[in-house]
Amino acid sequence: MTTLVLEAAVLGVLTGGVYALMASGLTLIFGVMRIINVGQGALVVLGAYLGFVLLRQWHVDPFLGLLLTTPALFVLGVALEVVFIRPLRTDRESLSVLVTYALALGIEGVLGYLFGADYRQISVWYDTATFQVGGFHVAVVYVLGFALCVAILAGLGLLLYTTTFGAAIRATMLNRAAAQLIGIDVERVSAIAFGIGMATAAAGGVVFGITTAFNPGSHYDLISRLLTIIVLGGLGSLRGAIVAALVMLVVQDVTAVLLSPTWAAFAFFVVLVAVLVARPQGLYGLRVRERI
């Protein structure tokens, strides 16, 4: 039993890394633009389908395929921001939720039209390979996916904390008006942040597609988890999103072993309620003073 629980915890950390990557894009978009991108889940699913098609049609390894799909989704993200989010002038925070929800439905509709409702999974030749560490069986794809996510998150951290553009993003997150006053083009920063958010969704989507079966409707489940994670971490906090993703996935996978897999997803939301009762601003709330 202890081994099973430990194995579940290790798996939770590994999948938690993937969720951390997907959620980091979401919380970055919120931090910069103060909008919730409910379409993030649909873009993850889109990323998974892109990886699936690249492998099936052109036999491109999905991890290598990211070199194509992440730039493509980055451009798509910038375009979506310019066309759909930027025109929102009044009541942005609420209306953007509805707009991105509509985008999610549109993507679900297009994917469903092209691929049908059948569940798919990206099957790479190494997806059954495992190795043993200290008596645990660990699947290679999970470790690869985790390593990829850590690498991208580290890259994101370097971008944010060592470059001038990163400073512009952080300034916009702290105070949009003041950033504009000192000459930062916040509209451009917003578009690029949205693009980065999409690109992380594509990368997360490929790992998601390898480890999980998905269909066009999978985004509902994904987005409810991702939103829970970023609310738990505190909206706009990258560090919070990463910690929350790891905690949530470990809780979920351990619940699956201890109780039953059908209750695992429920544990997710129970933690959310518990945290909200104690700390409405989340673990690392960026806007503590505004919220209380």
Partner 1 sequence: MRQTWGAWAAAAALAVALALPLASLDPSVLNIAVFTLMYVGLATAWNIIGGFAGYISLGHAGFFGIGAYALGLLVGHLGVPGGYGPFLLVPVAGLLTAAVAVPVGWIALRTRAATFVIVTIAFMFMLQILATNLRGLTGGSQGLGYPAPEGWSPRFVDVPFYYAMLGLAAVAVLAAWWIRGSKLGLGLRAIRDDEDRALALGVPTWAFKVTAFTVSAALVGMIGGVYGYYVTYVYPQFVVDPLISLSMVLMAFLGGTGTIAGPIVGALLLEPAQLELAYSVGEARLYLILYAVLFLVVILVLPSGIVPTVADRVGSRRARQPVAPAPAPGEAAPP
Binding site for partner 1 (CB under 8 A): 30, 34-36, 38, 84, 87-91, 93-95, 97-99, 101-103, 105-106, 108-110, 112-113, 216, 220-221, 223-224, 227-228, 230-231, 235, 262-263, 265-266, 269, 272-273, 276-277, 280, 291
Q: Which residue, 109 or 155, is less far from partner 1 as judged by CB?
A: 109
Shortest CB 265 distance to partner 1, Å: 6
Shortest CB 59 distance to partner 1, Å: 28
| CA 156/CA 133 separation, integer angstroms | 30
Listing DSSP states for 8-19 in one string gives HHHHHHHHHHHH
Shortest CB 217 distance to partner 1, Å: 10
Any residues with CB less than 8 A from the CB of 248 and at least 6 apart, and which? 16, 19, 225, 228, 229, 232, 268, 271
Shortest CB 62 distance to partner 1, Å: 25
Shortest CB 169 distance to partner 1, Å: 19
Q: Which residue, 154 or 276, is less far from partner 1 as judged by CB?
A: 276
Q: Which residue, 142 or 214, is less far from partner 1 as judged by CB?
A: 214
Q: Which residue, 180 or 224, is less far from partner 1 as judged by CB?
A: 224
Q: Which residue, 99 or 201, is less far from partner 1 as judged by CB?
A: 99
Q: Which residue, 71 or 109, is less far from partner 1 as judged by CB?
A: 109
DSSP 214: B
| CA 237/CA 52 separation, integer angstroms | 32
Burial of 90 per CB tally in 10 Å (0-12, 13-18, 19+):
exposed
Q: Which residue, 148 or 231, is less far from partner 1 as judged by CB?
A: 231
Decide if 226 contacts 43 (C-beta within 8 A). Answer: no
Shortest CB 65 distance to partner 1, Å: 25
Decide if 47 contacts 179 (C-beta within 8 A). Answer: no
Shortest CB 30 distance to partner 1, Å: 7
Three-state DSSP at 5 gives helix
Q: Which residue, 148 or 243, is less far from partner 1 as judged by CB?
A: 243
DSSP 122: -
Shortest CB 139 distance to partner 1, Å: 26
The tally of CA atoms less than 13 A away on the side-chain side of residue 81 is 28
Closest CA to 284 of 227, 225, 237: 237
**Whole-number Cα distances in Å, 175 to 7, 31, 186, 222:** 43, 10, 10, 30
Decide if 31 contacts 173 (C-beta within 8 A). Answer: yes
